[in-house]
Copies of this chain bind each other. A is one copy, B any other.
Amino acid sequence: MMVIMHEAATEADVAHVVARIEEIGASAHISSGDRVTIIGVIGDREEITQLPLEAMPGVDRVVAVLKPYKLVGREFHPDDTVIDVRGAKIGGDHFAIIAGPCSVETPEQVLEAARAVKAAGGHMMRGGAFKPRTSPYAFQGLGEEGLRMLAAARDDTGLPIVTEVMDPRDLDVVCEFADVIQIGARNTQNFLLLAEVGKADKPVLLKRGPATTIEELLMAAEYIVKEGNRDVILCERGIRTFEPATRNTLDISAVPVIKIASHLPVVVDPSHSAGRLDLVLPLSLAGVAAGADGIIVETHPNPEHALCDGPQALPTAVFGEYAGRVLDLARWAGKTVT
């Protein structure tokens, strides 16, 4: 931590800051320039960050030197984390396609989608039983009944299930059926839910919120890992910007930025970022080329009758062609595709 003093700060201001730093057992190193004094703070990071240094007289700003996360950082854990979900691996050089409908609607719909994903070489199945919807008047998901439909499709195809939990009170029932617990983009900073899934014994797929910085996403993952669950998959799904051509702006740079900073696997969601069917393939390929460990994508047997996000879902009829292209690029990028 470095404290940059105002140009007009007095010696008393500097002495006061130093005293407060030393009070908590940290040490202060003063370097005085022509116009500005800087105080370096060395000591226990957690204790130092509790000090409201910026509230002290004469302080202009405080610059963090070390990253705020630990367990999810590469410094702590240089090797890539590889997560094994019922035999489907993701992370390191393992690549996975996770696909399925936005929401679970009928047993037939789920089964048809799962079979198409399986036939195309996909590795996991996604589908929402509990749905966060902007409007209270929209379809909110089938709940436990939907989870049972997913489990039936898993029995049929062998594909592990990725599904969202929104309410800590639903965590038990979701864990009963799911293989990977998804935290949606509106819950990236729902710290209670993060801590709860951190105690679960299932891998977690953590989506980045539309106004969450990459560092905040990593801090959200830290909440999970801190509780003991080290199997976290991060998901880039677009951020909010001024550009109206897409629903969100896929922050493709987040993929290599995260791979450099963290050992956790990263997947890209081309469906929710763009909200446009005609961008799903190019954005999936961009994700793979940028270094993603997987893609999570929507597919539906009949998008025109979907109860949720139909316009962005790939029809299962074309899913094989799509997945073939994605997997071929993953191989080009040096990934193992099974």
Contact = CB atoms under 8 A, between A and B. Distances in A.
A46 B38 CA distance: 20
B133 A191 contact: yes
A266 B213 CA distance: 28
B239 A249 contact: yes
A296 interface: no
Interface in A210-250: 210-211, 213-216, 219, 222-223, 226, 239-246, 249-250
Contact of A55 (B34, B209, B310): B310
B213 A210 contact: no
A285 B253 CA distance: 11
A314 to B, nearest CB: 11
A167 B192 contact: yes
**Interface size of A as a range:** 35 or more
Tell me the dominant secondary structure on chain A's binding face: mixed
B42 A33 contact: yes
A9 interface: no
Contacts of A209: 211
Given A49-B135, A305-B52, A249 B257 contact: no
Contacts of A53: 311
Nearest to A249: B251
B279 A256 contact: yes
Nearest to A63: B63
Nearest to A220: B134
Contact of A136 (B42, B66, B223, B242): B223
A265 B324 CA distance: 27
Interface in A169-204: 169, 186-187, 189-192, 195
A288 B169 CA distance: 41
A81 to B, nearest CB: 18
A290 interface: yes
Contacts of A337: none
Interface string A302-332: 0111110111010000000000000011001
Nearest to A75: B7
Interface string A83-120: 00000000000000000000000000000000000000
Nearest to A46: B137
Nearest to A278: B260
A241 B241 CA distance: 6
Interface string A129-161: 000111111110000000000000000000000
Interface of A: 2, 4, 7, 20, 29, 31, 33-36, 38, 40, 42, 46, 49-50, 52-56, 63, 65-66, 68, 75, 132-139, 166-169, 186-187, 189-192, 195, 209-211, 213-216, 219, 222-223, 226, 239-246, 249-257, 260, 273-274, 277-279, 282-283, 285-291, 303-307, 309-311, 313, 328-329, 332-333
**Pairs of residues from A and B, 7 with the lowest C-beta to C-beta distance, nearest first:** A52-B310, A211-B211, A54-B311, A289-B289, A285-B289, A55-B310, A256-B282
24 contacts: A20-B304, A29-B31, A49-B138, A50-B138, A50-B139, A52-B305, A52-B310, A54-B310, A55-B303, A132-B189, A134-B189, A135-B219, A166-B192, A239-B243, A240-B242, A243-B253, A253-B274, A253-B282, A253-B283, A255-B282, A256-B279, A285-B333, A286-B287, A328-B332
